[in-house]
Amino acid sequence: MESSSLKNERTYIPYAITFLAGASYGLTTVVIGQPLDTIKTRMQGIATTSNASVTGATSMFRDLYGKEGIKGLYRGGLPLIIGGSLMRSAQFGVSAEAKGILDRCDIPSVKIFGIIDSSVLISGIAGGMGRALVEIPTDFFKIRRQVQSDLNTKLAVREIWKQSLDGSSVTMFRNSILFASFIVYIDLSKQLVSNGYVPSILCTDDLSGLSPFAKGAICSNLAWLTCWPLDVVKTQRQSGNFNESGKTGILQLLKSNYKSGVL
């Protein structure tokens, strides 16, 4: 007869694996992508202000690297490492649970526009909201570190409890669209693969969908393009550089960014 301690160990193993996978994701994201993310964040949070003197990606990189070196490019990486361990688990875990609830409750799925599965869309929105709950405070700290070189770390830690909710609504909105778009694009890609519209080199061996690399390269980038204007607004809200204008609402910033061409 199996002991209770062994059962408990087996119960926690999947959670441990998921957490380690998320931690690996967070670390890999920082090591490979943090320099580019720092440049992107500074372009969104600094270069769009009226007094910005450095606006292009190349000039932004040269300016930051010349002043602070490699350290400057990896500024704000620690919150992403910490948050990455939970963000990935939250978005996929909540999404899977939401899909399971819809299936168990026998809620009929509707094809929106004849191609988008409503249950996939709903579970994706839920997953994005789950990710946002983790990302709101960690991304706030990351962005503040990336756009403010003279940021007092101790002061930021004290203020994060008060200020981290600034931009929470747009973060929730962006993440809902981001993750919902991602899994909808994956679902659409499966339909395209099954109908023979996708080259076999981009598909899995059993032709059930896109290969992991193609899925990440195509579906992830399409999802980010879908929500990119909201990502710009999110960075602006959390950077703290747009509070003095008095126009910090989502629609106000979207209109302002559209007029200035920074979306």
The answer to whether residues 122 and 217 touch, using CB atoms and an 8 Å cutoff, is no
Which residue in this structure is represented by tokens 């981290």? Answer: 164
DSSP letter (8 states) at residue 262 = -
- Alpha helices, DSSP H only, in 105-220? 118-147, 153-163, 168-194, 212-214
Q: How far is CA 87 from CA 24, 118, 194, 244, 262, in A?
A: 12, 24, 31, 31, 28
Count of Cβ atoms closer than 10 Å to residue 33 Cβ: 13
Half-sphere exposure at residue 151, Cβ-oriented, CA atoms within 13 angstroms: 22
Residue range 235-243: average pLDDT? 80
As a whole number of angstroms, the distance between CA 104 and CA 100 comes to 6
pLDDT tens digits, one per residue of 104-123: 888 888 889 888 999 999 99
- Which amino acid, residue 112? I
Mean pLDDT of the chain: 81
Check residues 159 and 263 and name the one with the higher pLDDT: 263
Q: Provide, rounded to the nearest whole percent, the portion of the chain with pLDDT above 90.
A: 27
pTM for this prediction: 0.80
